[in-house]
Structure 1
Protein backbone atom coordinates (compact mmCIF):
# COMPACT_ATOMS: atom_id res chain seq x y z
CA UNK A 1 0.00 0.00 0.00
CA UNK A 2 1.56 3.34 -0.97
CA UNK A 3 2.76 5.47 1.93
CA UNK A 4 0.45 8.39 1.12
CA UNK A 5 -2.68 6.26 0.87
CA UNK A 6 -1.71 4.48 4.09
CA UNK A 7 -1.42 7.86 5.81
CA UNK A 8 -4.84 8.95 4.52
CA UNK A 9 -6.43 5.66 5.57
CA UNK A 10 -4.71 5.97 8.94
CA UNK A 11 -6.07 9.48 9.43
CA UNK A 12 -9.59 8.30 8.66
CA UNK A 13 -9.23 5.34 11.02
CA UNK A 14 -7.87 7.61 13.76
CA UNK A 15 -10.90 9.89 13.49
CA UNK A 16 -13.39 7.01 13.54
CA UNK A 17 -11.58 5.29 16.43
CA UNK A 18 -11.22 8.30 18.70
CA UNK A 19 -14.35 10.28 17.88
CA UNK A 20 -17.89 10.16 16.55
CA UNK A 21 -17.11 12.68 13.82
CA UNK A 22 -18.82 11.66 10.54
CA UNK A 23 -15.85 10.18 8.70
CA UNK A 24 -16.07 6.82 6.95
CA UNK A 25 -13.26 4.37 7.69
CA UNK A 26 -11.34 2.96 4.74
CA UNK A 27 -8.94 0.05 4.65
CA UNK A 28 -8.10 -1.43 8.05
CA UNK A 29 -4.95 -3.49 8.60
CA UNK A 30 -1.95 -3.28 10.90
CA UNK A 31 0.05 -0.74 8.83
CA UNK A 32 -3.01 1.51 8.64
CA UNK A 33 -3.66 0.94 12.35
CA UNK A 34 -0.09 2.01 13.10
CA UNK A 35 -0.59 5.23 11.17
CA UNK A 36 -3.88 5.81 13.01
CA UNK A 37 -2.29 5.36 16.44
CA UNK A 38 0.57 7.68 15.47
CA UNK A 39 -1.98 10.32 14.44
CA UNK A 40 -4.09 9.91 17.59
CA UNK A 41 -2.74 13.11 19.23
CA UNK A 42 -3.80 15.12 16.16
CA UNK A 43 -7.36 13.87 16.56
CA UNK A 44 -7.07 14.67 20.25
CA UNK A 45 -6.06 18.24 19.48
CA UNK A 46 -9.07 18.60 17.17
CA UNK A 47 -11.40 17.25 19.85
CA UNK A 48 -9.75 19.53 22.39
CA UNK A 49 -10.43 22.58 20.24
CA UNK A 50 -14.10 21.59 19.98
CA UNK A 51 -14.36 21.01 23.72
CA UNK A 52 -12.61 24.28 24.53
CA UNK A 53 -15.16 26.02 22.33
CA UNK A 54 -17.97 24.38 24.30
CA UNK A 55 -16.38 25.37 27.62
CA UNK A 56 -15.84 28.98 26.57
CA UNK A 57 -19.26 29.37 24.96
CA UNK A 58 -21.25 27.84 27.80
CA UNK A 59 -19.07 29.76 30.24
CA UNK A 60 -20.44 33.02 28.85
CA UNK A 61 -24.00 31.86 29.57
CA UNK A 62 -23.69 29.94 32.84
CA UNK A 63 -21.47 29.39 35.87
CA UNK A 64 -18.02 27.83 35.29
CA UNK A 65 -19.05 24.58 37.02
CA UNK A 66 -22.03 24.23 34.70
CA UNK A 67 -19.79 24.88 31.71
CA UNK A 68 -17.38 22.21 32.95
CA UNK A 69 -20.19 19.67 33.30
CA UNK A 70 -21.53 20.37 29.83
CA UNK A 71 -18.01 20.07 28.42
CA UNK A 72 -17.52 16.66 30.03
CA UNK A 73 -20.86 15.56 28.62
CA UNK A 74 -19.78 16.72 25.17
CA UNK A 75 -16.51 14.83 25.55
CA UNK A 76 -18.40 11.62 26.35
CA UNK A 77 -20.71 12.10 23.37
CA UNK A 78 -17.82 12.80 20.99
CA UNK A 79 -16.02 9.62 22.08
CA UNK A 80 -19.05 7.33 22.69
CA UNK A 81 -17.90 7.10 26.31
CA UNK A 82 -15.51 4.32 25.25
CA UNK A 83 -12.52 5.65 27.15
CA UNK A 84 -14.49 5.93 30.38
CA UNK A 85 -15.75 2.39 29.87
CA UNK A 86 -12.18 1.21 29.28
CA UNK A 87 -11.03 2.94 32.46
CA UNK A 88 -13.72 1.24 34.55
CA UNK A 89 -13.02 -2.21 33.08
CA UNK A 90 -9.26 -1.89 33.47
CA UNK A 91 -9.41 -0.70 37.07
CA UNK A 92 -11.87 -3.47 37.95
CA UNK A 93 -9.46 -6.05 36.52
CA UNK A 94 -6.48 -4.54 38.31
CA UNK A 95 -8.43 -4.34 41.55
CA UNK A 96 -9.24 -8.04 41.38
CA UNK A 97 -5.52 -8.91 41.82
CA UNK A 98 -5.96 -11.59 39.18
CA UNK A 99 -3.60 -12.15 36.28
CA UNK A 100 -3.73 -13.22 32.67
CA UNK A 101 -6.92 -14.79 31.38
CA UNK A 102 -8.75 -14.43 34.70
CA UNK A 103 -8.20 -10.66 34.71
CA UNK A 104 -9.17 -10.38 31.03
CA UNK A 105 -12.40 -12.23 31.76
CA UNK A 106 -13.32 -9.57 34.34
CA UNK A 107 -12.73 -6.87 31.74
CA UNK A 108 -15.21 -8.58 29.40
CA UNK A 109 -18.08 -8.42 31.90
CA UNK A 110 -20.72 -5.79 31.06
CA UNK A 111 -21.18 -4.64 34.66
CA UNK A 112 -18.97 -2.15 36.51
CA UNK A 113 -17.51 -3.15 39.87
CA UNK A 114 -16.73 -0.93 42.87
CA UNK A 115 -13.17 -0.21 41.77
CA UNK A 116 -14.40 0.91 38.37
CA UNK A 117 -17.09 3.13 39.87
CA UNK A 118 -14.60 4.85 42.17
CA UNK A 119 -12.19 5.38 39.27
CA UNK A 120 -14.92 6.98 37.16
CA UNK A 121 -16.05 9.25 39.99
CA UNK A 122 -12.52 10.41 40.81
CA UNK A 123 -11.56 11.04 37.19
CA UNK A 124 -14.74 12.95 36.38
CA UNK A 125 -14.55 15.00 39.59
CA UNK A 126 -10.94 16.00 38.95
CA UNK A 127 -11.64 16.85 35.33
CA UNK A 128 -14.73 18.87 36.26
CA UNK A 129 -12.82 20.78 38.94
CA UNK A 130 -9.94 21.49 36.55
CA UNK A 131 -12.24 22.66 33.76
CA UNK A 132 -14.05 24.92 36.23
CA UNK A 133 -10.75 26.58 37.08
CA UNK A 134 -9.64 26.77 33.44
CA UNK A 135 -12.91 28.45 32.46
CA UNK A 136 -11.83 31.47 34.50
CA UNK A 137 -8.54 31.92 32.65
CA UNK A 138 -8.02 34.12 29.58
CA UNK A 139 -9.40 32.33 26.54
CA UNK A 140 -6.02 31.64 24.87
CA UNK A 141 -4.78 29.86 27.99
CA UNK A 142 -8.07 27.98 28.39
CA UNK A 143 -7.99 26.88 24.75
CA UNK A 144 -4.37 25.74 25.01
CA UNK A 145 -5.03 23.81 28.23
CA UNK A 146 -8.01 21.84 26.91
CA UNK A 147 -6.29 21.12 23.59
CA UNK A 148 -3.12 19.94 25.34
CA UNK A 149 -4.89 17.70 27.86
CA UNK A 150 -7.03 16.08 25.18
CA UNK A 151 -4.12 15.61 22.79
CA UNK A 152 -1.88 14.24 25.54
CA UNK A 153 -4.48 11.62 26.42
CA UNK A 154 -4.38 10.31 22.86
CA UNK A 155 -0.59 10.55 22.83
CA UNK A 156 -0.75 8.03 25.66
CA UNK A 157 -2.28 5.60 23.16
CA UNK A 158 0.55 6.27 20.71
CA UNK A 159 3.03 5.41 23.45
CA UNK A 160 1.07 2.29 24.44
CA UNK A 161 1.11 0.99 20.86
CA UNK A 162 4.84 1.33 20.34
CA UNK A 163 6.90 -1.60 19.12
CA UNK A 164 7.70 -4.18 21.77
CA UNK A 165 4.38 -3.85 23.63
CA UNK A 166 2.32 -7.03 23.09
CA UNK A 167 -1.43 -7.54 22.86
CA UNK A 168 -3.16 -9.37 25.69
CA UNK A 169 -5.56 -11.16 23.35
CA UNK A 170 -5.21 -12.57 19.81
CA UNK A 171 -8.21 -10.55 18.67
CA UNK A 172 -9.83 -7.18 19.27
CA UNK A 173 -8.49 -3.64 19.04
CA UNK A 174 -5.42 -4.42 21.12
CA UNK A 175 -4.32 -7.16 18.73
CA UNK A 176 -4.79 -4.84 15.75
CA UNK A 177 -2.75 -1.92 17.10
CA UNK A 178 -0.22 -3.37 19.57
CA UNK A 179 3.36 -2.91 18.46
CA UNK A 180 2.45 -0.95 15.32
CA UNK A 181 4.03 2.41 16.20
CA UNK A 182 7.72 3.10 15.63
CA UNK A 183 9.92 5.17 17.97
CA UNK A 184 9.65 8.44 16.04
CA UNK A 185 5.92 9.07 16.49
CA UNK A 186 5.86 8.99 20.32
CA UNK A 187 8.94 11.20 20.53
CA UNK A 188 7.68 13.72 17.98
CA UNK A 189 4.23 13.72 19.57
CA UNK A 190 5.67 14.36 23.03
CA UNK A 191 7.68 17.33 21.79
CA UNK A 192 4.72 18.80 19.89
CA UNK A 193 2.28 18.43 22.79
CA UNK A 194 4.81 19.83 25.26
CA UNK A 195 5.31 22.90 23.06
CA UNK A 196 1.55 23.37 22.78
CA UNK A 197 1.41 23.32 26.59
CA UNK A 198 3.69 26.36 27.03
CA UNK A 199 0.87 29.00 26.89
CA UNK A 200 -1.56 26.89 28.95
CA UNK A 201 -0.47 28.37 32.29
CA UNK A 202 -0.05 32.17 32.15
CA UNK A 203 3.19 33.30 33.72
CA UNK A 204 4.53 29.75 34.06
CA UNK A 205 5.67 28.53 30.64
CA UNK A 206 7.37 25.50 32.21
CA UNK A 207 4.32 24.14 34.04
CA UNK A 208 2.40 22.88 31.01
CA UNK A 209 5.29 20.91 29.48
CA UNK A 210 6.14 19.50 32.91
CA UNK A 211 2.54 18.33 33.38
CA UNK A 212 2.71 16.52 30.03
CA UNK A 213 6.02 14.83 30.86
CA UNK A 214 4.85 13.68 34.29
CA UNK A 215 1.55 12.35 32.93
CA UNK A 216 3.33 10.36 30.22
CA UNK A 217 5.80 8.98 32.78
CA UNK A 218 2.87 7.76 34.90
CA UNK A 219 1.30 6.24 31.79
CA UNK A 220 4.50 4.32 31.05
CA UNK A 221 4.57 2.96 34.60
CA UNK A 222 0.91 1.98 34.36
CA UNK A 223 1.42 0.26 31.02
CA UNK A 224 4.39 -1.69 32.40
CA UNK A 225 2.22 -2.89 35.27
CA UNK A 226 -0.70 -3.75 32.98
CA UNK A 227 1.51 -5.78 30.64
CA UNK A 228 2.81 -7.76 33.61
CA UNK A 229 -0.70 -8.39 34.93
CA UNK A 230 -2.62 -8.98 31.70
CA UNK A 231 0.11 -10.10 29.34
CA UNK A 232 -0.30 -7.07 27.06
CA UNK A 233 -2.66 -4.28 26.10
CA UNK A 234 -6.33 -4.33 25.14
CA UNK A 235 -8.75 -1.74 23.83
CA UNK A 236 -9.88 -1.16 27.42
CA UNK A 237 -6.30 -0.47 28.49
CA UNK A 238 -5.97 2.10 25.72
CA UNK A 239 -9.17 3.81 26.88
CA UNK A 240 -7.92 3.85 30.46
CA UNK A 241 -4.64 5.37 29.28
CA UNK A 242 -6.51 8.18 27.56
CA UNK A 243 -8.45 9.07 30.71
CA UNK A 244 -5.50 8.76 33.10
CA UNK A 245 -3.18 10.93 31.03
CA UNK A 246 -5.89 13.51 30.28
CA UNK A 247 -6.79 13.78 33.97
CA UNK A 248 -3.18 14.08 35.12
CA UNK A 249 -2.45 16.82 32.58
CA UNK A 250 -5.54 18.75 33.67
CA UNK A 251 -4.42 18.39 37.27
CA UNK A 252 -0.90 19.52 36.47
CA UNK A 253 -2.19 22.59 34.62
CA UNK A 254 -4.27 23.86 37.55
CA UNK A 255 -1.84 23.20 40.40
CA UNK A 256 -0.39 26.33 41.94
CA UNK A 257 2.42 26.88 44.41
Structure 2
Protein backbone atom coordinates (compact mmCIF):
# COMPACT_ATOMS: atom_id res chain seq x y z
CA UNK A 1 0.00 0.00 0.00
CA UNK A 2 1.51 3.35 -1.07
CA UNK A 3 1.31 6.24 1.33
CA UNK A 4 -1.93 8.06 0.51
CA UNK A 5 -1.02 11.66 1.22
CA UNK A 6 -4.32 12.94 -0.23
CA UNK A 7 -6.23 10.89 2.32
CA UNK A 8 -3.81 11.97 5.03
CA UNK A 9 -4.30 15.64 4.12
CA UNK A 10 -8.06 15.22 4.18
CA UNK A 11 -7.98 13.53 7.59
CA UNK A 12 -5.71 16.10 9.26
CA UNK A 13 -7.22 19.16 7.57
CA UNK A 14 -10.91 18.27 7.77
CA UNK A 15 -11.73 15.11 9.71
CA UNK A 16 -9.46 14.80 12.74
CA UNK A 17 -11.50 17.21 14.88
CA UNK A 18 -14.41 14.76 14.79
CA UNK A 19 -12.33 12.01 16.47
CA UNK A 20 -11.98 12.18 20.25
CA UNK A 21 -8.45 12.29 21.58
CA UNK A 22 -6.04 14.12 23.84
CA UNK A 23 -3.72 16.16 21.63
CA UNK A 24 -4.00 19.19 19.39
CA UNK A 25 -3.01 20.58 15.98
CA UNK A 26 0.62 21.03 17.00
CA UNK A 27 1.04 17.32 17.67
CA UNK A 28 -0.89 16.29 14.56
CA UNK A 29 1.31 18.52 12.40
CA UNK A 30 4.52 17.24 14.01
CA UNK A 31 3.56 13.56 13.60
CA UNK A 32 2.49 14.19 10.01
CA UNK A 33 5.75 16.02 9.25
CA UNK A 34 7.92 13.31 10.79
CA UNK A 35 6.09 10.42 9.12
CA UNK A 36 5.90 12.11 5.73
CA UNK A 37 9.59 13.05 5.84
CA UNK A 38 10.46 9.43 6.63
CA UNK A 39 8.53 8.30 3.57
CA UNK A 40 10.19 10.92 1.37
CA UNK A 41 13.64 9.89 2.64
CA UNK A 42 12.97 6.22 1.92
CA UNK A 43 12.97 5.28 5.61
CA UNK A 44 11.04 2.03 5.72
CA UNK A 45 9.38 0.26 8.61
CA UNK A 46 5.99 -0.39 10.11
CA UNK A 47 3.95 1.94 12.34
CA UNK A 48 2.42 1.15 15.72
CA UNK A 49 0.62 2.58 18.71
CA UNK A 50 -0.02 1.23 22.19
CA UNK A 51 -3.27 2.72 23.46
CA UNK A 52 -5.28 3.91 20.44
CA UNK A 53 -8.39 5.18 22.29
CA UNK A 54 -10.77 6.36 19.52
CA UNK A 55 -8.06 6.30 16.85
CA UNK A 56 -7.24 10.02 16.57
CA UNK A 57 -3.47 9.48 16.29
CA UNK A 58 -3.49 5.93 14.97
CA UNK A 59 -5.35 6.95 11.84
CA UNK A 60 -2.44 9.27 10.97
CA UNK A 61 -0.11 6.27 11.24
CA UNK A 62 -2.41 4.12 9.12
CA UNK A 63 -2.56 6.77 6.39
CA UNK A 64 1.23 7.07 6.41
CA UNK A 65 1.74 3.43 5.38
CA UNK A 66 3.92 2.89 2.35
CA UNK A 67 3.96 -0.13 0.06
CA UNK A 68 4.71 -3.24 2.09
CA UNK A 69 4.24 -1.51 5.44
CA UNK A 70 1.69 -2.31 8.12
CA UNK A 71 0.18 -0.41 11.02
CA UNK A 72 -0.56 -2.03 14.39
CA UNK A 73 -3.19 -0.84 16.87
CA UNK A 74 -2.54 -2.32 20.33
CA UNK A 75 -5.31 -1.84 22.89
CA UNK A 76 -7.56 -3.69 25.30
CA UNK A 77 -10.68 -2.54 23.42
CA UNK A 78 -13.62 -4.56 24.78
CA UNK A 79 -11.42 -6.05 27.52
CA UNK A 80 -10.65 -2.63 28.99
CA UNK A 81 -11.86 -2.47 32.58
CA UNK A 82 -12.00 1.33 32.34
CA UNK A 83 -14.55 1.16 29.54
CA UNK A 84 -17.27 2.60 31.81
CA UNK A 85 -18.77 5.93 32.77
CA UNK A 86 -17.48 8.82 30.69
CA UNK A 87 -15.15 6.37 28.91
CA UNK A 88 -17.94 3.96 27.95
CA UNK A 89 -17.92 3.12 24.26
CA UNK A 90 -14.15 3.12 23.90
CA UNK A 91 -14.41 -0.47 22.72
CA UNK A 92 -16.52 0.46 19.69
CA UNK A 93 -15.53 4.09 18.95
CA UNK A 94 -12.27 3.09 17.25
CA UNK A 95 -14.02 0.69 14.88
CA UNK A 96 -16.91 3.10 14.23
CA UNK A 97 -14.49 5.90 13.38
CA UNK A 98 -12.44 3.62 11.14
CA UNK A 99 -15.55 2.65 9.18
CA UNK A 100 -16.87 6.22 8.97
CA UNK A 101 -13.53 7.53 7.68
CA UNK A 102 -13.03 4.63 5.30
CA UNK A 103 -9.60 3.67 6.66
CA UNK A 104 -8.75 0.15 5.56
CA UNK A 105 -7.05 -2.13 8.09
CA UNK A 106 -6.30 -5.81 7.79
CA UNK A 107 -7.33 -8.02 10.70
CA UNK A 108 -3.73 -8.55 11.95
CA UNK A 109 -3.33 -4.76 12.24
CA UNK A 110 -5.66 -4.62 15.26
CA UNK A 111 -4.41 -6.47 18.35
CA UNK A 112 -6.63 -6.81 21.40
CA UNK A 113 -4.08 -7.45 24.13
CA UNK A 114 -2.71 -6.07 27.38
CA UNK A 115 0.69 -4.64 26.43
CA UNK A 116 2.05 -5.71 29.84
CA UNK A 117 1.77 -9.32 28.66
CA UNK A 118 3.91 -8.65 25.58
CA UNK A 119 7.61 -9.22 25.23
CA UNK A 120 9.98 -7.72 22.68
CA UNK A 121 10.03 -11.08 20.91
CA UNK A 122 6.24 -11.41 20.62
CA UNK A 123 5.90 -7.81 19.45
CA UNK A 124 8.66 -8.19 16.87
CA UNK A 125 7.04 -11.37 15.57
CA UNK A 126 3.79 -9.47 15.09
CA UNK A 127 4.99 -6.19 13.58
CA UNK A 128 8.72 -6.39 12.83
CA UNK A 129 10.74 -3.16 12.75
CA UNK A 130 8.85 0.07 13.42
CA UNK A 131 9.70 3.53 12.07
CA UNK A 132 7.05 5.44 14.02
CA UNK A 133 5.82 4.16 17.40
CA UNK A 134 3.35 6.00 19.66
CA UNK A 135 3.34 5.04 23.37
CA UNK A 136 0.01 6.01 24.95
CA UNK A 137 -1.07 3.00 26.99
CA UNK A 138 -1.41 2.75 30.75
CA UNK A 139 -0.04 5.84 32.50
CA UNK A 140 1.20 4.13 35.66
CA UNK A 141 4.98 3.95 36.12
CA UNK A 142 5.30 0.24 35.34
CA UNK A 143 3.14 0.55 32.22
CA UNK A 144 5.14 3.43 30.80
CA UNK A 145 8.49 1.77 31.50
CA UNK A 146 7.31 -1.51 30.01
CA UNK A 147 5.73 0.04 26.90
CA UNK A 148 8.72 2.28 26.18
CA UNK A 149 11.03 -0.73 26.46
CA UNK A 150 8.83 -2.59 23.98
CA UNK A 151 8.89 0.34 21.56
CA UNK A 152 12.65 0.73 21.85
CA UNK A 153 13.19 -2.97 21.18
CA UNK A 154 11.50 -2.77 17.76
CA UNK A 155 12.38 0.82 16.84
CA UNK A 156 14.23 1.14 13.54
CA UNK A 157 17.62 2.85 13.49
CA UNK A 158 15.96 5.83 11.77
CA UNK A 159 12.71 5.48 13.71
CA UNK A 160 10.89 7.79 16.12
CA UNK A 161 9.13 7.00 19.40
CA UNK A 162 6.37 9.35 20.59
CA UNK A 163 5.53 9.43 24.32
CA UNK A 164 2.14 10.90 25.23
CA UNK A 165 1.43 13.04 28.32
CA UNK A 166 5.08 13.77 29.03
CA UNK A 167 4.95 16.66 31.55
CA UNK A 168 1.16 16.21 31.70
CA UNK A 169 0.10 17.52 35.11
CA UNK A 170 -2.48 14.77 35.52
CA UNK A 171 -0.01 11.94 34.92
CA UNK A 172 3.27 12.50 36.80
CA UNK A 173 4.29 8.84 36.48
CA UNK A 174 4.64 9.27 32.72
CA UNK A 175 7.33 11.93 33.12
CA UNK A 176 9.12 10.08 35.92
CA UNK A 177 9.15 6.77 34.05
CA UNK A 178 10.21 8.35 30.75
CA UNK A 179 13.06 10.27 32.39
CA UNK A 180 14.27 7.16 34.18
CA UNK A 181 14.26 5.09 30.99
CA UNK A 182 15.81 7.82 28.85
CA UNK A 183 18.57 8.24 31.42
CA UNK A 184 19.21 4.51 31.38
CA UNK A 185 19.16 4.37 27.57
CA UNK A 186 20.90 7.68 26.83
CA UNK A 187 23.23 5.92 24.39
CA UNK A 188 20.24 4.48 22.49
CA UNK A 189 17.52 7.13 22.74
CA UNK A 190 17.62 10.93 22.50
CA UNK A 191 14.66 13.34 22.78
CA UNK A 192 14.62 15.82 19.90
CA UNK A 193 11.18 17.48 20.07
CA UNK A 194 8.73 18.39 22.79
CA UNK A 195 5.19 19.76 22.46
CA UNK A 196 2.45 20.42 24.98
CA UNK A 197 1.32 16.80 24.96
CA UNK A 198 4.11 14.68 23.50
CA UNK A 199 7.82 13.92 23.58
CA UNK A 200 9.52 12.75 20.37
CA UNK A 201 12.56 10.48 20.70
CA UNK A 202 15.03 9.06 18.14
CA UNK A 203 18.37 7.30 18.06
CA UNK A 204 21.22 9.71 18.91
CA UNK A 205 22.76 9.25 15.45
CA UNK A 206 19.68 10.67 13.70
CA UNK A 207 18.15 13.03 16.28
CA UNK A 208 19.77 16.09 14.69
CA UNK A 209 18.47 15.06 11.25
CA UNK A 210 14.94 15.21 12.62
CA UNK A 211 15.55 18.56 14.31
CA UNK A 212 16.85 19.96 11.03
CA UNK A 213 13.77 18.62 9.23
CA UNK A 214 11.47 20.53 11.60
CA UNK A 215 12.90 23.85 10.41
CA UNK A 216 12.45 23.12 6.70
CA UNK A 217 9.20 21.09 6.67
CA UNK A 218 6.42 22.81 4.68
CA UNK A 219 3.96 21.13 7.03
CA UNK A 220 5.32 23.22 9.90
CA UNK A 221 5.40 26.56 8.12
CA UNK A 222 4.60 29.26 10.64
CA UNK A 223 5.42 27.07 13.63
CA UNK A 224 7.04 28.57 16.70
CA UNK A 225 10.22 26.55 17.17
CA UNK A 226 12.74 27.28 19.90
CA UNK A 227 15.76 25.47 21.27
CA UNK A 228 16.41 24.26 24.80
CA UNK A 229 18.47 21.43 26.29
CA UNK A 230 17.44 18.10 27.80
CA UNK A 231 20.02 15.71 29.24
CA UNK A 232 22.62 18.30 28.13
CA UNK A 233 21.58 17.80 24.50
CA UNK A 234 19.64 20.22 22.27
CA UNK A 235 15.89 19.72 21.95
CA UNK A 236 13.32 21.66 19.92
CA UNK A 237 10.18 23.13 21.50
CA UNK A 238 7.17 23.45 19.21
CA UNK A 239 4.12 25.54 20.01
CA UNK A 240 1.68 28.02 18.56
CA UNK A 241 1.35 31.62 19.67
CA UNK A 242 -1.93 33.08 20.87
CA UNK A 243 -2.67 34.66 17.51
CA UNK A 244 -2.19 31.40 15.62
CA UNK A 245 -4.32 29.50 18.14
CA UNK A 246 -7.13 32.05 17.80
CA UNK A 247 -6.93 31.89 14.00
CA UNK A 248 -7.19 28.11 14.06
CA UNK A 249 -10.20 28.21 16.38
CA UNK A 250 -11.98 30.63 14.09
CA UNK A 251 -11.14 28.57 11.01
CA UNK A 252 -12.43 25.40 12.70
CA UNK A 253 -15.74 27.07 13.45
CA UNK A 254 -15.97 28.26 9.85
CA UNK A 255 -14.85 24.90 8.45
CA UNK A 256 -11.67 26.39 6.98
CA UNK A 257 -8.94 23.96 7.96
CA UNK A 258 -5.42 25.04 6.93
CA UNK A 259 -3.07 22.62 5.23
CA UNK A 260 -0.06 23.97 7.13
CA UNK A 261 0.56 25.75 10.38
TM above 0.5, yes or no, is no
Q: TM-score, normalization: structure 1? A: 0.31
- From the two aligned structures, give the one with the greater helix fraction: 1
TM-score (norm 2): 0.30
